Amino acid sequence: MPRLASPIRLSLVLMLLFLAGPAPAQQARTPANTPRPQDPQHDHDHDDHHHDGTYRGRVIAEVMSYLGANWLMRPTRVQEERPDEMLDSLEIEPGMTVADVGAGVGYHALKMARRVGPEGVVYATDVQPQMLRMLNQRAKQAKLDNVKPVLVTQDDPGLPPGEVDLILMVDVYHEVSEPEATLRGLRAALKPGGRLVLVEFRAEDPNVPIKPEHKMTIAQARAEVEPNGFRFKEVLDFLPWQHIIIFEKPEDDAPAADPAEAEAEPAAEAEPAATP
């Protein structure tokens, strides 16, 4: 979620958005068999997470404060981001268990709750209790009983293991300060075959009027997410300014063994060879 430092900045951003207007819609898909982008600038044998606020060469954006929550509900968001069309493309079905990670005030969570229906569940997570209080109030006003607010931390997504069909992160992943720990937790929460969806402003396009640290390229997203056990599925590029980047947890995925437990278990003795 792009961070706004002051009401003055909010006014300037909204004016820029109004003047720019949405780009023409382009229905495009990048299929799963597209080769993974090469990442020659990074050695995967060492930790790419630095204490200077960067990860793998990009600046980790600051989490948007709850004081800017009104921006999440701006009327122009429908035109700029087309949230209903974005959710349509994800084929969310009644009865699903889904998660809106970094849900803020629940802009998408409440829409998802109506789609999964009373038999489904929406876990709406955020690191700020103030956001969740606003979300909970909106859910009560909408009489939606299937939204479960969850206060989480940057290194623990707080989702039940193996229960989630779809995890959605809209303009959120670039703010995660512990990407690898978060991705491990998200992968553990998904059912085999479950999807992780990142909606991010396109860094490839300099005309998208968003600060650089609040944008991501497809190559950046793939280079960070795939090494953490996800399989790239496709990209949908029909939104005015954002990518919809879809990954999935492999059907044959098995949880990684805990290194500490592996060390604690004595090695099995080899069976003696049979004497002819």
Whether the CB-CB separation of 169 and 199 falls below 8 Å is answered with yes
Element (H, E) at 186: helix 179-189
Which neighbouring-strand residues pair with 54? 59
- Check residue 50 and give its pLDDT: 57
Residues 74-93 pLDDT 10s: 999 999 999 999 999 999 99
Tell the residue number behind the tokens 């968003």, with chain if given: 210
Q: In this prediction, what percent of the chain has a pLDDT beyond 70?
A: 73
Residues 198-211 pLDDT 10s: 999 999 999 999 99
The residue ranking higher by pLDDT, 184 or 47, is 184
Task: Report, as an integer, the average pLDDT of 147-153.
Answer: 97
- Check residue 51 and give its pLDDT: 62
Residues 160-190 pLDDT 10s: 999 999 999 999 999 999 999 999 999 999 9
The mean-pLDDT minimum among 49-53, 98-102, 232-236 falls in 49-53
Task: Report, as an integer, the average pLDDT of 129-136.
Answer: 97
Residue 191 CB neighbours (<10 A)? 16
Residue 209 CB neighbours (<10 A)? 14
Name the residue type at position 183.
Answer: L
pLDDT at position 272 over 50: no
pLDDT at position 109 over 60: yes
Residue 180 CB neighbours (<10 A)? 16
Of the pLDDT bands very low, low, confident and very high (cuts 50, 70, 90), residue 159 is very high
Side-chain half-sphere exposure of 148, counting CA atoms within 13 A: 13
- Check residue 253 and give its pLDDT: 77
pLDDT at position 5 over 60: no
Q: Measure the CA–CA gap between 276 and 264, rounded to whole angstroms.
A: 36
pLDDT at position 2 over 60: no
- Check residue 42 and give its pLDDT: 36
Q: Which two tokens stand for residue 175?
A: 């703010």
Architecture per CATH, domain 87-253, reads as 3-Layer(aba) Sandwich (3.40)
Of the pLDDT bands very low, low, confident and very high (cuts 50, 70, 90), residue 132 is very high
Residues 217-271 pLDDT 10s: 999 999 999 999 999 999 999 999 999 999 999 998 765 444 444 444 443 433 4
**138: Cα separation from own chain's centroid:** 22
